[in-house]
Amino acid sequence: MFIAHLPAGYLLTRWLQQRLKTTEYLWIGLAASILPDSDLVYFYFIDNRQTLHHEYWIHLPIFWLTVWIAVLVVNLLAKSRKLSIVSTIFLANIFLHLILDTFAAGILWLYPLWDKSFVLIDVPARYSSWVENFIFHWSFLVEILIFIWASAVLLKERKKNHLD
């Protein structure tokens, strides 16, 4: 995914807020929806593009599964509604990011058991830049649709809040 992580995170977080009966923590959902791609800083400036950035620990489901289990244990002990809501919004958006990356880029879902990247559709390398490869592929239309969907929901909510 290229442009759809943030709008998809917005849609998921707004849906979760309704289910969890809260109006808070939107920014946590939005931050989590793009957090795994913060490894691009390491990819470009430290690793010199030696490793696919989807293979870094921040894009590994096993890492986030471990975090999820740790949070569940803490939630069981703390019994905090706030912690439960925040962790649900945060981790749901992390896993949404990984699911969306599985669409056209690939995620190591079974690592370390299986060193194979799972990807739904293959985006061929027709251009010298990976950005062009993604933008000029039909799968980018899916990203545009998610962006339009999130924009429509945002505008509808703003209009509603304006009228209230």
How many CB atoms within 10 Å of residue 55?
Answer: 16
101 binds Zn ion (CB under 5 A): yes
Q: Of 9-17, 41-49, 68-76, 96-104, which segment contacts Zn ion by CB under 5 A?
A: 96-104
Q: Of 70-78, 98-106, 116-124, 126-134, which segment contacts Zn ion by CB under 5 A?
A: 98-106
Find the DSSP H helices in the chain. Answer: 5-19, 26-34, 39-45, 61-78, 81-104, 130-135, 140-163
Classified as helix, coil or strand, 25 is coil
9 binds Zn ion (CB under 5 A): no
Least distance in angstroms from the C-beta of 108 to Zn ion: 12
Which two tokens mark 125?
């390398």
Q: Of 22-30, 82-90, 93-101, 108-116, which segment contacts Zn ion by CB under 5 A?
A: 93-101
143 binds Zn ion (CB under 5 A): no
Give the binding-site size for Zn ion (rule: CB under 5 A): 3
Among 8, 16, 37, 143, binds Zn ion (CB under 5 A): 37
Q: Is the peptide bond before 112 cis (omega within 30 degrees of 0)?
A: yes
36 binds Zn ion (CB under 5 A): yes
- CB 108 within 8 Å of CB 116: yes
Least distance in angstroms from the C-beta of 132 to Zn ion: 18
Task: Please name which of 87, 153, 142, 135 lies closest in space to residue 120, comparing C-alpha atoms.
Answer: 142
Task: Please name which of 157, 29, 150 lies closest in space to residue 97, comparing C-alpha atoms.
Answer: 29
Least distance in angstroms from the C-beta of 34 to Zn ion: 8
Q: Of 37-45, 120-128, 137-145, 155-163, which segment contacts Zn ion by CB under 5 A?
A: 37-45
Instruction: Give me the residues that bind Zn ion (CB under 5 A), please.
Output: 36-37, 101
